[in-house]
Chains A and B, each alone.
Chain A
Amino acid sequence: MTAYIIRRILWQIPVLLTVGLMTFGIAKITPGSPFDTDPNHRQLAPAVEKIMRQKFGMDLPFWHQFTRYMFFDLVGNPKTGAQEFQWGAIGGNFGPTYTSRGSRTVQQELFGDRSGKPSRFYYSARLGLQALLFAVIFGIPMGVLAALKQNSWIDYSILFVSTLFASLSNLIVGFLLVIIFAVSLNWFTVIPDWSDAIQPWILPTLALGAVQLGFITRLTRSSVLEVKRQDYIRTAQSKGLATQVVIWRHMLKNALLPVVTILGPAAAGLITGTLYIEIIFQVPGMGSLLIEAIGKRDYSMITAGALIFVFFLGVANLIVDIAYGVIDPRISYK
């Protein structure tokens, strides 16, 4: 098991390098640069642009820029001219952001505190985990209930609600919640007050969780239905086991495997920031920042976004694989 985990972690390294190279490469190949701004305004003087390009190492060959970003490099200090050693992404340094004209680094923006307030990562991760928790806590019981009471009115109403949620997008749910609960009912404000520990989190969590809730409910329902018809369930029932034992020990344990599978990638996606919900509910999280970076060709931020997402995806998948072993005795890792 330990050897398996170590092997999996080591596998992450080539994956991250490939993703880093591809993202960095694609970002650089894409026409335009961080210094191409709105053509309607005063353009950056060519001379100033030249200094900026030097400051960000954009005058170097591609492989050099990439190794500086990914690994390490000697970088000239603009004030003294001396060469100084500097770590790249593997040392946790994702470089300066272009939008801040190099005065802040990517890691400061994403993980650093925001002048005394929790980091952007905290907001994205907390919101994502809350949404996931909400979806799991309500989704799995609803799915099981629907499957056990198949073709009853309970089943139909749960199926109705979950299909409805699964078909909607975060964006629409988000706006509907704002309109219903903030504008019409006045239970919440449209502009969140983040100094309140609970209130501003409720609507975005619901909006983000609703779609996941729909998926999880439907998936749980169909996989419980499938397991329900298996021979071993019939055997368990016929040998006189209590219904509760059949459901909990024999049915659920097997039915939850597909659900656990989708939870991994869902978790990675949710905690690294979700664009629409962060924008509608003005959550100071990572998602909106990363998307803005693409439009502004903020190379360091774009690549960091991809690397961080892949990192969390790897971690989430690893946890899922370990969870498999726990849930399903047929699976063992060597």
Chain B
Amino acid sequence: MQIRNLRNTATLVLMLVLAVPILTACGGAPAAPAATQTAKPTTAAAAPTVAPKPSAAPAATAPAATAPVATAPAATAPAATAILGPAQSGVLRIRMPGGSGAEPDNVDPQQASFVSEIAFIMMGYQGLMTFDKNMKPIPGAAESVKVSTDGLTYTFKIRPDSKYSDGTPLTAKNFEYAWHRLANPETAGQYQGLACGIIKGYSEWSVAACQGKTMTETLALDLKKLEADYGVKAIDDRTLQIELTAPAPYFLSMAALWIGAPVREQDAAKGSDWWYTPENYIGNGPFVLKEWDHGSKAVWEVNPNYVGPLGPIKLKRVEYYMITESQVAFQAYQNDELDMLNVAAEDLSAVQSDPVLSKQIVNAVGTCTFYFGFNNTKPPFNDIKVRQAFAQAFDREAWVRDIFNGLGNPTQSFIPPGFPGYQPDLKLWSFDPAAAKASIAASTYGSVDKLPEIKLTYSASVRNNARFEWVANQLKMNLGISAVLDPIDPTAYSALTKDKTTSPQMYYLGWCADYPDPQNWISLFQTTGQLADRIGFSNPALDKLIKQADAEQDAAKRADLYAQAQKILVEAAPVAFLQNDGGPWLIKPYVKGVAQENITPIDYWEGFFNMPNVDVQP
């Protein structure tokens, strides 16, 4: 009997002990809604830069377990005196940029395509051009560029004292090789399609990417001749000439991208995974890859041979840490092991309410615009009035506040703030339920109850469920429509949305910039454009304006044409623009030169294009 009692007592004690961490986890969280927000840290398909990854799902309980620390940074603040891992002068330690914090899968400049891969490549390499703090293309590895009056010939002069990080000379021949490698059908890079139809002879040579030919068909062609006809040529050691098929002023921005990074032939010849070994990763970028502990960290040291507008560089070293779990990264930042960190949505309220951390917040704008895409070929969205009604029926402020924890900004147009072409006053579809109902009444359907069933198709995840329940609720409240929720597997969803014949009636989409030029945004909505094609949108007036703008050489006229085009786009409402991404970063006070006014949306890491002023001085 006594034993039985003892056992019962022991069980009780045990349960209490088990319950304590759980209770503190719940109690420690700032508020109940925030606790539910933590459900899936990185899964949502709509997270700006992260590809949907079911792998994050098992980590679901992690934030809850760590919540007590997040809210008790007072206890962790003395970590500034930590014995291990204090900040060092001139050493910047960051989580691997590009969203998930995972190691990049391929950092071959002519093959890579993901944000993290690009953030890696651009440390080691520099293209002919680069960007300044206003996102204008400026000469990078080139000293100057001359554009012929017809806008067809670009002549780049390479800086006279150019060297690779190992001291070997960098000439126009190296760039010739890289741009040829980009077009070469053997390379089969994922961004190979970007320059199709722009550089002379590109589409003809890169037949697989530009014309959809098979490898067998490609090999049957006279590839030597096609390469000889390709419009990229080194005239001498310092002069590179690129000929275009049609005037394309945005080519200067394209020449700043990773796709033209001067990979050396002798490095690329070392095998398909030449880039895996730091000894082969020799570039002309601001930094040299000193060590790459795959799956753990990459260590960059300043390139003594770097010439270009990002120098002179004050930093001595930059360290990339591959940390896939954002909670771990947050702990590392609080423990003074990271100097900068993007704040995850689930940590935001903890950061904002903390007296120390809240002072370290720097708000950054993103490169993406998110929207509800309407399938313009399917009823009821083949009716412009219905689309306009839906565009007016959303409370974007509430959407950003409630669903995204205030990360990002509401928007009604396509090009995000900070980018050339942004029109802050283009606001046609402000939240107005009455006007939305009037629009429906003016449509061919006449009234809400005559509309066909509205299905909200989305990639299934806890976070997306919450989002689309919210959307369904908005439709119910503001228009009186009972929409059906239709969650499906993320990768299947992604496959479904590729073609207008299979794509859902209405779904959540986004676009993130490749390069800062309105052409990279607006042109996607011409009839054959990537985004218009996905939703079956076509507007002849818009097509005409875009065609004109893409080739216009007068910068002011060109900007005006794009502005007109964006206005038509917003009016036609093929999609309802919702919000731009962005959000706070935590930046330690001893990191200099990374502040609101000198970061840009296209930075590979915050402050990248302000490099000469960035320093770490603990």
B211 interfacial contact with A, CB 8 Å: yes
Q: From the candidates A103, A116, A159, A184, name the one contacting B111 in the complex (CB within 8 A).
A: A103
Whether A189 pairs with B495 at a CB distance below 8 angstroms is: no
Q: Is the CB of A175 within 8 A of B84?
A: no
The distance from the CB of A214 to the nearest CB of chain B, in whole angstroms, is 12
Instruction: Find residues 157-201 in chain A having any chain B CB closer than 8 Å to their own CB.
Output: 159-160, 163-164, 167, 169, 171-172, 175-176, 178-179, 182-184, 186, 188-192, 194
A171 contacts B53, CB within 8 Å? no
For chain A residues 273-290, which have a beta carbon within 8 Å of chain B?
275-276, 279-280, 282, 284-285, 288-289
Q: Which residues of B contact A156 (CB under 8 A)?
A: 6, 10
* B277 at interface, CB cutoff 8 A: yes
- Categorize the interface residue count of chain A: 35 or more
Q: A282 — which chain B residues lie within 8 A by C-beta?
A: 295-296, 321-324, 328
Known: A43-B498, A47-B212. A99 touches B105 (CB 8 A): yes
Does B295 lie within 8 Å of A100, measured CB to CB?
no
* Contact indicator per residue, chain B 479-510, by CB within 8 Å of chain A (1) or not (0): 00000000001111111011000000000011
User: Does residue A5 face the partner (Cβ distance < 8 Å to B)?
Assistant: no
Check B228 for interface membership: any CB of A closer than 8 A. Answer: no
Bound complex: CA A291 to CA B324 (Å): 12
Say yes or no: A47-B211 contact (C-beta < 8 A), given A115-B292, A279-B325. yes
- List chain A residues, Cβ under 8 A from B459: 39
Given known contacts A45-B193, A172-B65, A280 and B328 CB-to-CB distance under 8 angstroms: yes
CB-defined contacts of B85 to chain A, threshold 8 Å: 189, 191
Cβ 8 A contact of A36, one of B55, B494, B509: B494
Interface centre among A39, A186, A292, by most B CB within 10 Å? A39
Q: Which residue of B lies closest to A291 (CB)?
A: B55
Q: Which residues of A contact B497 (CB under 8 A)?
A: 39
* Identity of the chain A residue whose Cβ is nearest the Cβ of B13 in the assembled complex: A160
- In the complex, the answer to whether A100 meets B79 with C-beta atoms within 8 Å is no
A-chain residues with CB within 8 Å of residue B113 when the two chains form the complex:
42, 44
Asked whether B62 is an interface residue with its Cβ less than 8 Å from the other chain, the reply is: yes
**Choice from B75, B186, B337 contacting A78 with Cβ under 8 Å:** B186
1/0 per residue, CB under 8 A from B, across A25-65: the answer is: 00000111100111111111111101110110000000000
CB A312 to nearest CB in B, in angstroms, measures 20
- B14: A residues at CB distance < 8 A: 160, 163-164
Q: Is A258 an interface residue (CB 8 A)?
A: no
CB-defined contacts of A101 to chain B, threshold 8 Å: 105-106, 108, 111, 188-190
State whether the Cβ of B209 lies closer than 8 Å to any Cβ in chain A: yes
Q: How many A-B residue pairs have CB under 8 A?
A: 250
Minimal Cβ-Cβ distance residue in A for B327? A175
User: Which residue of A is nearest B206, CB measured?
Assistant: A47
Binds B, one of A126-134, A294-302, A323-331: A294-302
Interface of B, helix, strand, loop or mixed by DSSP: mixed
Q: Tell me whether B530 and A288 are in contact (CB under 8 A).
A: no
> Which of chain A's residues 111-158 have a Cβ closer than 8 Å to chain B?
114-117, 120, 151, 156
> In whole angstroms, what is the CA distance A36 to B51 when docked?
9
Instruction: Point out the residues of chain B lying under 8 angstroms from A289, CB to CB.
Output: 295
Interface segment out of the listed B213-221, B400-408, B583-591? B213-221
Query: Is A183 a contact partner of B76 (Cβ separation < 8 A)?
Result: yes
Residues of B within 8 A of A50 (CB): 208, 212, 214
Known contacts A50-B212, A276-B58, A296-B51; A33/B495 CB under 8 A: yes
Contact assessment for A284 and B293 in the assembled complex, using a CB-CB cutoff below 8 Å:
yes
User: In whole Å, how far is A125's beta carbon from the nearest beta carbon of chain B?
Assistant: 15
CB within 8 Å for A191 and B190 given contacts A183-B79, A184-B75, A295-B52: no
| CA–CA, A14 and B545, complex, Å | 64
Q: Name which of B42-50, B351-359, B554-562 contacts chain A.
A: B42-50
Inter-subunit contact A33/B491 (CB<8 Å) = yes
Taking the closest CB of chain A, its distance from the CB of B369, in whole angstroms, is 9
Which of A48, A167, A292 meets B209, CB within 8 Å?
A48
- Does any Cβ of B come within 8 Å of A92's Cβ? no
A79 within 8 Å of B (CB atoms):
yes
A104:B273 contact, CB within 8 angstroms: yes
Is the beta-carbon distance between A100 and B514 smaller than 8 angstroms? no
Complex CA distance for A120 and B103, rounded to whole angstroms? 13
Nearest A residue to B102, CB-CB: A292
Q: How far is the CB of A93 from chain B (nearest CB, A)?
A: 15
Q: How many angstroms between the C-alpha atoms of A18 and B584 in the bound complex? A: 50
Given contacts A183-B76, A284-B296, contact A40 B46 (CB under 8 A): yes
* Contact indicator A179/B331 (Cβ below 8 Å): yes
Given contacts A189-B335, A284-B295, contact A175 B66 (CB under 8 A): yes
Q: Which A residues touch B216, using CB under 8 A? A: 76, 81
Residue contact A51 to B273, C-beta cutoff 8 Å: no
B76/A184 in contact, CB under 8 A: yes
Q: Does A108 contact B (CB under 8 A)?
A: yes
Known A151-B3, A186-B83, A189-B85; judge A103-B492 contact (CB<8 A). no
Evaluate contact between B293 and A160: CB separation under 8 angstroms.
Answer: no
Given contacts A100-B273, A160-B13, A284-B294, contact A295 B84 (CB under 8 A): no
Please state if B335 and A190 are interface contacts (CB–CB under 8 Å): yes
Do A31 and B489 have beta carbons less than 8 Å apart? yes
Q: B282: shortest Cβ distance to chain A, in Å? A: 14
Could you tell me if A114 and B294 are in contact, using CB atoms closer than 8 angstroms?
yes
What are 28 inter-chain pairs, A to B, with CB distance below 8 A?
A: A30-B489, A31-B492, A38-B51, A40-B46, A41-B49, A43-B530, A50-B214, A51-B215, A76-B216, A100-B105, A100-B106, A108-B273, A114-B293, A114-B295, A175-B65, A175-B327, A176-B65, A179-B69, A179-B331, A182-B331, A190-B328, A192-B296, A279-B59, A279-B328, A288-B295, A291-B55, A295-B52, A296-B53
Give the 10 A-B CB pairs with smallest separation, nearest first: A32-B491, A284-B295, A31-B492, A40-B510, A45-B193, A103-B272, A295-B53, A36-B494, A114-B294, A190-B332
Give A residues with C-beta under 8 Å from B. 30-33, 36-48, 50-52, 54-55, 76, 78-79, 81, 97, 99-104, 108, 114-117, 120, 151, 156, 159-160, 163-164, 167, 169, 171-172, 175-176, 178-179, 182-184, 186, 188-192, 194, 275-276, 279-280, 282, 284-285, 288-289, 291-292, 294-297
Interface residues of B (CB under 8 A from A): 3, 6, 10, 13-14, 17-18, 21, 45-46, 48-55, 58-59, 61-62, 65-66, 68-69, 75-76, 79, 82-85, 102, 105-106, 108, 111, 113-114, 185-186, 188-193, 196, 208-216, 219, 272-273, 275-278, 292-297, 321-325, 327-328, 331-332, 334-335, 337-338, 368, 370, 459, 489-495, 497-498, 509-512, 514, 530
Given A30-B491, A50-B212, 18 extra CB contacts under 8 A:
A31-B491, A36-B498, A37-B494, A45-B196, A47-B193, A47-B212, A51-B188, A51-B208, A51-B214, A81-B216, A101-B105, A101-B111, A120-B294, A160-B14, A175-B66, A183-B69, A183-B79, A282-B328
